[in-house]
Amino acid sequence: MAYLSVQELFDGLKEELKLTVITPSVTLARKIHSAEINRPGLALSGYYGYFAFDCVQILGKTEIGYLKKLKGIERVKNLKNFFSYRIPCMIVTKQQTIPDDFVEQAIAAKIPILRSPYRTSRVASQVTVFIEAAGSPELSMHATLLDVYGIGTLIMGKSGVGKSECALELIERKHRLVADDIVEIRRENRILMGASNHMLMYHMEIRGLGIIDIKAIFGVGAVRHRKRIDLAVTLEHWEREREYERLGLEEKTYDVLRIKIPHLIIPVRPGRNIPILVETAALNQRLKVMGVHPAQEFNQKLIETMKLKTEKLGLQK
């Protein structure tokens, strides 16, 4: 994963988790090397057989309760061992009070401590999701992404083939724009999520019109911030010599960040209603997700009909 700084973690979650910094004199520049989180109860008790020190350390009621009861030489020894590790940061949950000597040793070791009023399970879950998302592989693609009947449809093609015009017609038909011209794609586990470039968000460039604001013209219902990519459609100028798919039996895929998504190539020429073809492709993909494959079912019926006719002819002879 790409290394994330504690500062980036704090900036990304300070509103959502109401994070505050308990050690303001300590820099937040340390890097987080793992998307996992760790509850350091065993380490604080003196067991270091396995200590995931390079993770964000979450201190809940159990850890803080144990710290308050830890006394004498054992406390000094355990805390000295604990702070000898290069821990990226610690987050204390439920707005708990932290022992003064623990904070002092954290400052001496230059380990930042953050605090949240929320319960431990919520903090742990959201920190994990945030770090995983921040470290996910990503790329920018010249394409247009729309939500068509709930199917994230990535429309690709050479410049001037009509991607934006097709998208504009789909928006007028009450589908939603995610991104035009530049689609920021991020791999999250085994799915692809697409979003708009920050500068171009909700805007489209239409030749002859210029830059238009889709949200302002069509309303908030015509846009969405991000969408899972379920289908890729390539628009290309019709080539007379090329054989295009006519039955739909052959399943083509398009590889993005090592994830394969269904891929269709739609030839463009005067008289073809491309937006309605994209709508139909999205609906057809929804059927396939539900386990219905119209082309395969039609082919199977055709084979069965031919088989019956062949058997009848054999009986007649």
pLDDT along the chain (317 residues), means of 10: 82 93 94 88 89 93 92 92 94 93 94 95 91 81 95 93 92 95 88 90 89 94 95 91 74 89 92 93 91 80 79 65
Distance CA 111, CA 311 (A): 81
Query: What is the per-residue pLDDT for 79?
Result: 92
Annotation marks residue 181 as catalytic = yes
> Is 163 known to be catalytic?
yes
pLDDT value of residue 251: 84
Which amino acids are annotated as binding site for Mg(2+), given as ranges? 164, 205
Give the pLDDT confidence score for residue 136 in this predicted structure: 75
Helix (H, G, I), strand (E, B), or coil: what is residue 221?
helix
The SS3 of residue 198 is coil
Select which of 190, 240, 246, 258 is catalytic: 246
Kindly state the DSSP code that residue 130 receives in the 8-state scheme.
H
What is the Cβ-side half-sphere exposure of residue 217, based on CA atoms within 13 angstroms?
13
Which of 142, 260, 307, 309 does the annotation list as catalytic?
A: 142
Residues of the chain with CATH 3.40.50.300: 138-293
Q: Where in the chain is the domain with CATH 3.40.1390.20?
A: 4-134
Kindly write down the DSSP assignment for every residue of the chain, as one continuous string: ---EEHHHHHHHHTTTTT-EES-TTS-S-PEE--S-EE-THHHHTT--SS--TTSEEEE-HHHHHHHHH--HHHHHHHHHHHTTS----EEE-TTPPPPHHHHHHHHHTT--EEE-SS-HHHHHHHHHHHHHHHTS-EEEEESEEEEETTEEEEEEE-TTSSHHHHHHHHHHTT-EEEESSEEEEEEETTEEEEEE-TTTTTEEEETTTEEEEHHHHH-GGGB-SEEE--EEEEEEE--TTSPPPSS--S--EEEETTEEEEEEEEEE-TT--HHHHHHHHHHHHHHHHTT--HHHHHHHHHHHHHHHHHHHHHHH-
CATH architecture of 4-134: 3-Layer(aba) Sandwich (3.40)
Q: Which of 195, 274, 270 is nearest to 229 (CA)?
A: 195
Catalytic one of 163, 175, 176, 203: 163
What is the pLDDT at residue 36? 86
119 is catalytic: no
Q: Tell me the CATH number for domain 138-293.
A: 3.40.50.300
Question: In one letter, which amino acid is 225?
Answer: H
Residues marked as binding? 157-164, 205
| Binding site feature residues for ATP | 157-164
Q: What is the pLDDT of residue 296?
A: 79
Q: Which residue among the candidates 175, 181, 203, 224 is catalytic per the annotation?
A: 181
